[in-house]
Amino acid sequence: MNNFSFSVGGRTLYCLIFLGFIMSFPPLLAKNHTRQGNSFSQQHKVQGTITDGSNPLPGVTIAIKNKKNNVVISDYSGQFSLTSSPYDTLVVSYIGFKTQLVPIQGRSTVNIVLIDDTTTLQEVRVNAGYYSVKESERTGSIARITSKDIETQPVTNVLATMQGRMAGVSITQTTGVPGGGFEIKIRGQNSLRADANQPLYIIDGVPYASDPIGFNQTSTTFPTVTSPLNSISPESIQSIEILKDADATAIYGSRGANGVVLITTKRGKEGKTSFTLQASTGTGTVTKFMDLMNTQQYLEMRKKAFQNDNTSYKARDYDINGTWDQNRYTDWQKELLGGTALINNITGSVSGGSNKTQFILSGNYYTESTVFVGDFLYKKGGSQLSLNHQSDNDKFRLTFSAGYNFQDNNMPAFDFTNDARSLAPNAPALYNEDGSLNWANKTWSNPLRNLNAVFKSKTNNLVANTVLSYEVLPRLFVKSNFGYTNLSTRETRINPSTIFNPANNITSARSSIYINNTTRSSWIIEPQANWSKEFAGGNLDILAGATFQNQNSASLYQSGNGFPSNSLIYNLAAASVVTILLNDETQYKYQAIFGRINYNWEKKYILNLTARRDGSSRFGPGNQFATFGAVGAAWLFSNEHFLKNSSWLSFGKLRGSYGTTGNDQIGDYQYLDTYSIAELPYNGIAGLQPTRLYNKDFGWEINKKLEAAMELGFLKDRIFATAAWYQNRSSNQLTGIPMAGTTGFTVLQANLDAVVENRGTEFTLRTININSVNFNWTTSFNITFAKNKLIRFPGLESSSYSQQYRIGQPLNISLLYNYKRINPQTGVYEFEDLNGNGVISFPDDQQAVSDLNPKYYGGMQNQLSYKQWKLDFLFQFVNQKNRAYLNGVAGQMINQPSRMTDSWQEVNDNALYQIYTSGTNSDAVTANYLYSRSTASIVDASFIRLKNISLSYDVPLQMKETKCLIMLQGQNLLTFTKFKDGDPEFTTMGFLPPLKVITAGVQLTF
Amino acid sequence: MKTSYIPDRLIIFFLFALTVISCDSFVEVDLPKSQLTSEGVFKDFATADAALTDIYAKIRDKGILTGQNTGISCQLGNYTDDLVAYGTPTSTTVSFYNNAVLPSNSDVADYWNASYNQIYAANAILEGIAENISFTSQNKNKLQGEALFIRALMHFYLVNIFGDIPYIKNTDYTKNSLVSRMPAAAVYENITNDLKNAIELLPTSYSTTERIRPNKYTAQALLARVYLYVGKYVQAANEASSVLNQSGIFPLTKNINQVFQISSKETIWQLKAPVSGQNTQEADTFIFLSAPPAMTSLSDNLVNSFASSDLRRLNWIKEVKEENSVFYHPYKYKEQNFTSSSVEYSIVFRTAEQFLIRAEARAHQGDLTGAKDDLNKIRQRAGLLDTQAVTQSEILDAILCERKWEFFTEHGHRFFDLKRFNKIDEVLTGIKPGWKTTDRLLPIPQSELSANPNLRPQNAGY
């Protein structure tokens, strides 16, 4: 598996060749797979068409009752043919429809109309990681989306596909720059350490490390360093399951505390070899600009500021001292962020196979430019292969899947959003008449200088997995999973001398480059055995297995300074000084044993026990091993006699679970007392620096999860509702405790005897509003009310967290000064002096609590279809507070939101904002600082957003076996919010918000 | 189950046997490539020495003494009357210039955290070698002496910037995370003790020709300054004399343009550049080639205060013309770019300061002739006539002026001098609209007050 590699240089070419290969492949070649059949003594040919009443149904399984090896699948026109004996009975089954038994009764043409059966959604098998369960029989809390939901969205990040669609899963996009990241929290923040709240990602059984692969000196474009999750291609995904409660996650033990994201890639389907090609193109623009001051308002502010300060304009106050044209106005947001990103996506796949062997091979290529000025492009592509095979006697099964992806990103090294918001509106033009950058006589730093500071990133990613399984005895399966991942990334950021004003005569001798080379590879082996047996009137399922996992990471961070020419800047050999900032290799080893016992009595009472014992190299000797486990139970009361034939209640289940999971996201080697190599030498000697404060005695963070849930289906499940209540408590908090700098460091890794609780309720409702031959309308709704709370923290008041947390309050709070008013005499903000000492002091007066977690969030999805038309749209809503935009002191040479025009002008003014100052009124500067940390700085940032809309039309074609779909998709098209300062979805101010995307595309299947 | 001859119990046994197979050794990993255990570091003199020299690299690159624009040479220059700041209003340099430094200021956090990190490293060396018996006593003394010197040096700057501060003498974070502030007088007491011990332990010679590691005289030079700051003038004059008596080793460099070169004999201790061919960060911070300057320039106030014949005005200041306006930048360090081999390092202690320390100490003791002798040495080197000052207070005023001209943009001398002479309000109030008397101390970093309640309250005025 690990020698599975592709040429690195020609990936683009590779994809094109691959697509060409798909297109040129004659579909006829693979046709003979479909009509398999054994010869029978009495041969009878049966053919027919399967429809749903109006349209033909492809992919329907037609088998013959009590005859094993005679199964066919209907083709794209819904047709099938097989050989049987004349009085056999056909078993016709298809997901979403009721299985029918059709006696042949000597006929040679049997046309079958399948009847929609929503109840069978309960029959879908849900992936729970090491095992799968029927939706109706699961004891754990598992949310799920499938390719049907993913394909309607013009997005490239796997986390984006889930936004607003799953209860209990909160996802925020952190930047609209392509290649940027998302933040995910499954049922809230469990760990005090902000970067230890990542769920465990598993792709086709292989754990996928989500730790960042970027370096803060190279990936400066994004608010957080590069995440590897962009390497996963949404097109290749069949389903995403999120495991939330103890019953589902305890089998992942130490890594399950923050939930588990299971990604299953697409599998081949038996039947005719089919080809799918899809191409789409579209545009992206900024959702919402801030309302900033225009030149007139801005200059009035500046003039007033100097008037207030009673000072005169200084030489450097170019905007107002006459140096710059005061009649000039530039909308810098429009100028710098107002472009249109072009998006192109092309995907193709070929799939098919016999009933013993199926395959799918797919490829995709995606490009996205930016809304910034300049020629920047994000490219992403890859291919995915999946192969299933089973032996003739069905005892041996093999599944192989491999996905390879590359990303090639080329972006400006700095987001222009901050410049766009802060530049004076009468700042000079960007370009001179001759097209060169305008430096306006050295009176400003042209923001476009940063176009020359380029961030480039290339990432290659391979995930491969093989599962071999063998039925040793009837109902005893032995299997093993062999997985391999390999990721390599190379990022560069250049700082060429051309980012400086050429008049300063700065030459390439001052140019510099930062380079990050990071590789990560891992392997995993998981032998397992699975045994099931009828036992005491019920069914007993036992699973036992072990995990051996090894992950190696290597990072090399370098910088080069001083080049003979800027054209040699990417050649380190040309640098006068090459500095190795970090050269490190780390190893993470992990081993575990796990088991599951499931007992299902008459599909009424189900008990599920799971456990795992984990060992991790991230802990010191004596702390390496720990055991986790959970018990889950379900009662399907709708299967009880008294409800069995209820006309209104079609499904009813009560389930609950309790158990423990852990968290080992602490980084490697943190328990060692070491010195590490310093960045820069002294006197030619590579320095040795103390790495950290030494603490070897830390262990696992423990997360106890409790859940109770009810699932109800009414009127043949046309109305299906679930309600879940959960309470997760994290203790033994493993955290970098902020330390006073007097200790020599500002952080110490240790277990803290603090308890964090996440408690919430999740509701989902799915209604089939209309279900007729031509018109279908389904609505899905989910809402989550979540509350995060710090329950216990002995010694909080004397600890370093004393000004960060409060017992009984969420972790994500802000402690704030209580804003009172503007002093009518001085025009300066005033705050409540809680301790009454006459001055506003820290920390005593900074005690007002504001909760920045969403109160509730969710989404409502509607799927409508009318004949060939399909419309799917999703509204996402979040009720939350966030920080208002504040940048500098109003009156300085920084543009401000136009709302700031309502400033204090004279004694007894009743204004919203304080007196302007050019910066010399130090009372106002201090008050502004306090204001930015006061209750006035927290505003309502709730929003309702048309997150996704997708319209498709299935073009009626006369050509047999060909399907043509025309699609129109949109993302973030409408946003309703009270938030005044740009888009309400952000984690860090000053970065490009998520884009509004519209794409159009065609999908061809033949 | 018709063909199963294997009893179920055996299967169950097999399943659970699988789960028992576990080998603890699997989760043991090798040390990462870039790290050494602390124990290993202090087994070998070379690695212990590398741990020590790294502190100099840290002092050079981060925190108070760095020549980058975040260090005090630049920021306290802006804070007083040496420099004028340009750039965006949100830059830390501009907030220093406006005397509007907030507790959240990142440079202030660096001064605190980087200094205590350097102190931690020094303490770790003292603890690491305390038990070691394999080093020669010469090597051991050298390491201990230098570590004590570093500890005293960093505390000296901290106490002058922040006022009362904790004096940290060990690496025990359980204690150090909750320490309280110590009165400045007690801090000075500790500094003095550490320096006395360092003087005992350090050799009189430099280990290399470049004077890049402190020796006994360096510790004495700092001790002279410490005594001066606390008003122990007899001791200050004595310590300065012990350095100045070594006139063969530390003569004043005659050529004003060679004072800041590597080979300058006037240098008592300098910080070597990381790579051969690299020069000082100060040059990079202060020099601008065209106007208007991007970050800072010398204030007209300072430039105009020099006598027109002052060689320092002519050689340590460079003017840059732009149409009608003229800007000035410090030109003590002249080499901004890479050179084939380095020509300048960042100087922390030099002989001129010892003369002016002794002059001030002598003036306070009433030895006015001796004071004038020392002061005139500096004036003569600058091409100036002997001082006209007669009375004690005239001489002290003359010394304060001389220090302004001699030490501008060098490690906050001006700020500390104005405070010591108690003239800071008088001098700055007229020139700096944002100046308040409480600005004589910088705020304790916000993060530090959050982390350790025992450090509260914040300094007055913040």
Q: For residues B130 and B124, what is the distance between their CA atoms, to the nearest angstrom?
A: 10
Cβ contact, residue pair A742, B56, below 8 Å: no
Domain boundaries, chain A: 34-115, 121-266
Same domain, B303 and B188: no
Q: For residues B404 and B352, what is the distance between their CA atoms, to the nearest angstrom?
A: 12
Predicted ipTM? 0.86
Q: Cβ contacts (< 8 Å) between B32 and chain A: which residues?
A: 584-587, 668-669
Question: B36 and chain A: CB distance < 8 Å anywhere?
Answer: yes
Question: A529 and chain B: CB distance < 8 Å anywhere?
Answer: yes
Q: Cβ contacts (< 8 Å) between B120 and chain A: which residues?
A: 690, 743-745
Helix H or strand E segment including A587: strand A577-601
Q: For residues B37 and B76, what is the distance between their CA atoms, to the nearest angstrom?
A: 39
**Which tens digit of pLDDT belongs to each residue from B393-433?**
999 999 999 999 999 999 999 999 999 999 999 999 988 98
CATH of the domain at B117: 1.25.40.390
Domain residues for the domain of B253 are 246-410
Q: For residues B53 and B1, what is the distance between their CA atoms, to the nearest angstrom?
A: 75
Cβ contact, residue pair A595, B15, below 8 Å: yes
Cβ contact, residue pair A613, B22, below 8 Å: yes
- Strands (E) in A52-176, as ranges, are 61-64, 67-73, 79-84, 89-93, 100-103, 112-113, 125-127, 132-134, 142-146, 169-173
- Judging by DSSP bridges, how do beta strands A577-601 and A649-663 pair with one another? unpaired
Same domain, B183 and B278: no
A99: exposed, middle or buried (Cβ count in 10 Å: 0-12, 13-18, 19+): middle
Largest Cα–Cα separation, chain A: 109
**Which tens digit of pLDDT belongs to each residue from A950-989?**
999 988 887 767 889 999 999 999 999 999 888 998 888 8
Q: Cβ contacts (< 8 Å) between B109 and chain A: which residues?
A: 741
Helix H or strand E segment including A249: helix A246-249
Same domain, B325 and B191: no
CA-based nearest residue in chain A for residue B168? A742
Query: What is the 3-class SS of A800-862, one letter each residue?
Result: CCCCCCCCCCCCCEEEEECEEEECCCCCCEEECCCCCCCCCCCCCCCCEEEECCCCEEEEEEE
Upstream peptide bond of B453 is cis (omega within 30 degrees of 0): no
Q: Cβ contacts (< 8 Å) between B56 and chain A: which residues?
A: 682-683
The CA angle A539-A545-A551, to the nearest 5 degrees, is 145
What confidence score (pLDDT) does residue A820 get? 92
* DSSP sequence for A469-508: EEEEETTEEEEEEEEEEEEEEEEEEEE-GGGS-GGGT--G
What confidence score (pLDDT) does residue A9 get? 41
B136, part of any domain: yes
Q: For residues A100 and A275, what is the distance between their CA atoms, to the nearest angstrom?
A: 29
CATH number for the domain whose boundaries are A121-266? 2.170.130.10
CA-based nearest residue in chain A for residue B291? A442
B33, part of any domain: no
B118, part of any domain: yes
What confidence score (pLDDT) does residue A13 get? 44
3-state secondary structure of B142: helix
The low-confidence residues of chain A, meaning pLDDT below 70, are 1-42, 54, 68-69, 95-96, 116-121, 798, 960
Average pLDDT for runs of 10 along chain B of length 462: 55 58 66 79 90 95 94 96 83 90 90 96 92 85 96 97 96 92 97 97 91 96 97 96 94 95 95 90 92 88 94 95 85 89 95 97 96 96 95 96 96 97 94 92 91 90 88
Q: For residues A93 and A63, what is the distance between their CA atoms, to the nearest angstrom?
A: 8
Domain count along chain B: 2
Q: Cβ contacts (< 8 Å) between B455 and chain A: which residues?
A: 740, 742
CA-based nearest residue in chain A for residue B37? A674
Residues 331-390 on B with a CB inside 8 Å of A are 337-338
Q: For residues A671 and A676, what is the distance between their CA atoms, to the nearest angstrom?
A: 14
Q: What is the CA radius of gyration of chain A?
A: 31
B216, part of any domain: no
CATH number for the domain whose boundaries are A34-115? 2.60.40.1120
Single out the residue of A257, A199, A262, A244 nearest to residue A726, CA to CA: A244
CB-CB neighbours of A458 under 10 Å: 17
CA-based nearest residue in chain B for residue A531? B11
Runs of H (alpha helix) within A310-358: 332-337
Same domain, B198 and B268: no
| pTM of the entire predicted model | 0.79
Same domain, B55 and B192: yes
Same domain, B142 and B84: yes
Helix H or strand E segment including B119: helix B106-130
B105, part of any domain: yes
What confidence score (pLDDT) does residue A576 get? 85
Same domain, B179 and B273: no
3-state secondary structure of B153: helix
Cβ contact, residue pair B90, A613, below 8 Å: no
Q: Cβ contacts (< 8 Å) between B176 and chain A: which residues?
A: 740, 742-744
Q: For residues A476 and A532, what is the distance between their CA atoms, to the nearest angstrom?
A: 7
Cβ contact, residue pair A682, B24, below 8 Å: no
* DSSP sequence for B344-389: --EEEEEHHHHHHHHHHHHHHHT-HHHHHHHHHHHHHHTT-PPP--
**Cα A613 to the chain's mean position, in Å?**
29
Same domain, B299 and B405: yes
**Which tens digit of pLDDT belongs to each residue from A329-350?**
999 999 999 999 999 999 999 9
| CB-facing half-sphere around the CA of B132: CA atoms within 13 A | 25
**What are the Cα distances from residue A332, in Å, to A111, A337, A416, A447, A993?**
66, 8, 10, 10, 16
What confidence score (pLDDT) does residue A671 get? 83
